[in-house]
Amino acid sequence: MQADFCNLRGRVALVTGGGAGIGRAIVEAYAALGARVVVAEIDAARLDDVGQWLAKHGKQNGVEHWAMRADVCDDEQVAALLTGIEQRYGALDVLVNNVGDFLLNIKPFEQTGPADWDALYSIT
């Protein structure tokens, strides 16, 4: 039996970077808990894969999901994503800021500088 605190039925959850890895696992877990999952994914192949999975899962469970190609470093794309969520679902209940990157910045921390940090922190 599922505990009430794990019941996401009817809630709208946005998972950034939900096409692979930890993000994909969160997408699948939230969908299994009944959430209407929205995925923001920059990679077209991963977006297609998770979109197909969500479509199949949604048909089986009567839950609408949505996967959108979006770069969360681009303010306009984030605004379009949020507008789409509001139009489709009315509101957002859960936000999982999963996107992360090391930006191929392979050097010791002490060799990094403000430009490196700004690039990393621009990922929202």
User: pTM of the predicted model, to two decimals?
Assistant: 0.82
Domains, the chain, ranges and CATH? 4-99 (3.40.50.720)
14-28, 37-51, 91-105: range with lowest mean pLDDT: 91-105
Residue 103 confidence (pLDDT): 59
Residue 65 confidence (pLDDT): 96
Distance between CA atoms of 60 and 77, rounded to whole angstroms?
30
Distance between CA atoms of 99 and 105, rounded to whole angstroms?
16
The predicted-structure confidence for 36-92, as pLDDT tens digits, reads as follows 999 999 999 999 999 999 999 988 888 999 999 999 888 899 999 999 999 999 999
Count the neighbouring beta carbons within 10 Å of the beta carbon of residue 32.
14
